[in-house]
Structure 1
Amino acid sequence: MRLVVLGLSLSSAWGNGHATTFRALLKAFAARGHDILFLERDVPWYRDHRDCLTPDYCTLAFYDDLPDLRKSWGVAIAGADAVIVGSYVPEGVEVARFVQATATGTTAFYDIDTPVTLAKLSRGDFEYISAEVIPGYDVYLSFTGGPTLDVLEGRYGAPAARALYCSVDPALYRPTGAEKRWDLSYLGTYSDDRQPTLDRLLLAPARARPDLRFVVAGPQYPASIDWPDNVERIEHLPPAEHAHFYSASRYTLNVTRADMIAAGWSPSVRLFEAGACATAIVSDRWSGLETLLTPGTEIVLADGTADVLAALARDDAAAIGAAAQARILAQHTAAHRAAELEGYLDEAAAVGRRSSVLAGE
């Protein structure tokens, strides 16, 4: 099929998790024989940090603003078999109205931030989507599964809400054989609501075990944070170095945003990427995690500092990492997600055809 995707970014992974998600998914989707055009708003903060300008699995193009999108890409959007708009796309509500009025194929919203989206909607914040445009999408693809899908359909009128979790490209995320450099690592952009958990599950253990080595990689951490001496800081880690980073970690930490913990069924991409590298994961706790990785054997759950210290004292990190890797390669690769996406889009198209027939009758 001809697919057009309007997403936050494909060209730059700086300060966002969208780019790596789109790269893995669309590469696998193209491998299934589909033609893809990715349209990205040209903004300075990503323009200055681009690390993917010529993907070999899709056409990447930029637009300046809504008038430019209409003028330059209206024909492509109208002629596509399916058009996907992603969360956090600038002026997303207006983009939605344009796409829904222009596209003749299936339209979908891909929410990589579903719990954040619902929290925004509940307080009247329509930064990139509004309740008004949700029913206009044929399918709502959600990073969050479980009961949230019922909320999207029942409260907001989504015709079809489907879970499309993040995934991993195993060609890029695999063990590199790196020597273990850190006992516990964390890779993620600074977030106000994640920081207390990072303090409890990494910084406090680092202070309690000055003999061990820790690292936090990611941008935007304030200068006011008091980093223990045994916590290394990496300001930005390009995706090409992620596999080596995980492979050099005995354990890596997964920290979930508060909205996603409340919703449950919201796996972070780092779960799949770290697991594919056979790195043992220590994670905070949320509903639905046990459906993805089995606690105790494929992942370690931690509520507080003592749980992390107990994990660091274990000698079976390699076995936990290997078990996680086997599970993820069997169920959570980009190829699995691409097949799911194809199925959801085909399902929505079939519903649309049936509706057209009934309307004609």
Structure 2
Amino acid sequence: MRIAFYGSSLVSAYWNGAATYYRGLLRALAARGYQMTFYEPDVYDRQKHRDIEPPDWCRVVVYEGTVAALKRVAAASAEAEIVIKASGVGFEDDLLLEEVMSAARPAALKIFWDVDAPATLQELRASPDHPLRRALSSLDLVLTYGGGDPVVRSYRALGARRCVPIYNAVDPQTHHRVAEDSRFAADLAFLGNRLPDREARVEAFFLAPAAQLGNRRFLLGGAGWRDKPLPANVAYVGHVPTADHNAFNATPRAVLNISRDSMAENGFSPATRVFEAAGAGACLITDAWEGIELFLKPGEEVLVARDGRDVAELMRTLTAEVAREIGERAFQRVLGEHTYAHRAAEVDRIFRERSRRVEAAE
């Protein structure tokens, strides 16, 4: 089956946290025989910061950030059996949804794939006349980056026919163990772009513990932090390309996951970094959120911190040996249960169930 996928970017992770998710899932779906075209706009300088070239398992079409170009690529959805519009494409999202779904053939499976469900739902609740809210009942399916039952219930209440969370995972071909790299030597490292709904949590969970533990080395990676006042023991390395993520995760004694406000409040929303870190064998410390135990076992496969004081206490007591043991258990867990091959099998089952229903109706 042919898939037309309209998303932010497959070839650039620059200001694009969904890139790893897209790559892992689409590569795994390609291995199952799907033929895919990914349509992405040339916006936010992403094409200037590509970290991969178009892969052989997916055709990539980059279009100009103009309405005319958008309409041209949207018309191509008529060629596919499965049409997917993701959230957060970054250029005229509402118009893109309308154009893509209008052009899709009547029998096509029409999907909205939400890679930031808590934020999207907050926007929909605040705007009863939102274009996506109006469109939900005409779509076959909503797939989400995560969110569990709270997100499913919310989407159904807003009119979605069906909503299924497809959690992110690890792609062992991309994120795996590597040798340590002195550039990323630290006791605790955090990788994440500077965003308004995460900055206060970064201050509480990362910068405050760093200020308390002057004898420990902290490492901060991600775009946007250059003008942020940092404690003297925090080294800032800027944007970290995908090719360096494994070394960034494998080198420090521990790495930290900090959820954005909306995802922490909703729960059931493990960040991509959780699986990337575990796939590299890292010892992961995460902020507390509901549902973590569905993915990693607290205290054995992941360390959970309720606040910055917990982070500081964990770093005071965490030995290199214990960190290695936690990282090893997490590594085994994600390879056994949380790869994109596992997620693609679930998506494939959903697609084929729907196709059988359409064939039966005909």
Contact 1:14–1:46 under 8 Å retained in 2: yes
| TM-score normalised by length of structure 1 | 0.92
Which is further off, 339-348 or 33-42? 339-348
**Structure 1 residues 134-180: Cα deviation after superposition (integer angstroms, max 9, x where no partner):** 22221100112222102111x11111100111122112211112167
Contact 1:16–1:189 under 8 Å retained in 2: no
Structure 2's unaligned 5+ residue stretches are none
> What corresponds to 1:350 in structure 2?
356
In the alignment, residue 198 of structure 1 is paired with which amino acid? V
- Matching of residue 63 in structure 1 with residue 63 in structure 2: yes
CA distance in 2 between partners of 1:351 and 1:190 (Å)? 45
> What corresponds to 1:52 in structure 2?
52
Deviation at 1:79, TM superposition (A): 2.3
Q: Secondary structure at the match of 1:62?
A: strand
- Matching of residue 204 in structure 1 with residue 208 in structure 2: yes
CA distance in 2 between partners of 1:305 and 1:38 (Å)? 40
Of 176, 185, 188, which residue of structure 2 is paired with 1:184? 188
Deviation at 1:310, TM superposition (A): 2.4
Contact 2:74–2:100 under 8 Å retained in 1: no
Contact 1:53–1:60 under 8 Å retained in 2: no
Contact 1:87–1:113 under 8 Å retained in 2: yes
Deviation at 1:117, TM superposition (A): 0.3
| TM-score normalised by length of structure 2 | 0.92
Contact 1:251–1:279 under 8 Å retained in 2: yes
- Matching of residue 216 in structure 1 with residue 217 in structure 2: no
> What corresponds to 1:327 in structure 2?
333
Deviation at 1:232, TM superposition (A): 0.6
> What corresponds to 2:343 in structure 1?
337
CA distance in 2 between partners of 1:137 and 1:189 (Å)? 32
Deviation at 1:218, TM superposition (A): 0.4
- Matching of residue 97 in structure 1 with residue 98 in structure 2: yes
In the alignment, residue 163 of structure 1 is paired with which amino acid? P
Percent of counterpart pairs with the same letter? 33
> What corresponds to 1:271 in structure 2?
274
Which is further off, 201-210 or 244-253? 201-210
> What corresponds to 1:159 in structure 2?
161
Deviation at 1:234, TM superposition (A): 1.2
In the alignment, residue 137 of structure 1 is paired with which amino acid? L
CA distance in 1 between partners of 2:7 and 2:356 (Å)? 25
> What corresponds to 1:172 in structure 2?
174
CA distance in 2 between partners of 1:259 and 1:21 (Å)? 19
**Structure 1 residues 63-105: Cα deviation after superposition (integer angstroms, max 9, x where no partner):** 223433433552x411211011111122222222222222121
Structure 1's unaligned 5+ residue stretches are none
CA distance in 2 between partners of 1:26 and 1:205 (Å)? 38
In the alignment, residue 143 of structure 2 is paired with which amino acid? L
Which is further off, 342-351 or 296-305? 342-351
Contact 1:215–1:234 under 8 Å retained in 2: yes
Cα distance change on mapping 1:267 and 1:67 into 2, 3 Å: same
Q: Secondary structure at the match of 2:134?
A: coil
CA distance in 2 between partners of 1:20 and 1:311 (Å)? 29
Contact 2:226–2:236 under 8 Å retained in 1: no
Q: Secondary structure at the match of 2:22?
A: helix
Q: How do 1:104-123 and structure 2 match up within 5 A?
A: 104=105, 105-123=108-126
Contact 1:120–1:126 under 8 Å retained in 2: no
> What corresponds to 1:141 in structure 2?
143
The number of residue pairs the alignment matches comes to 352
**Structure 1 residues 247-298: Cα deviation after superposition (integer angstroms, max 9, x where no partner):** 1121111111111122111110000000111101111111111111111101
Q: Secondary structure at the match of 2:148?
A: coil
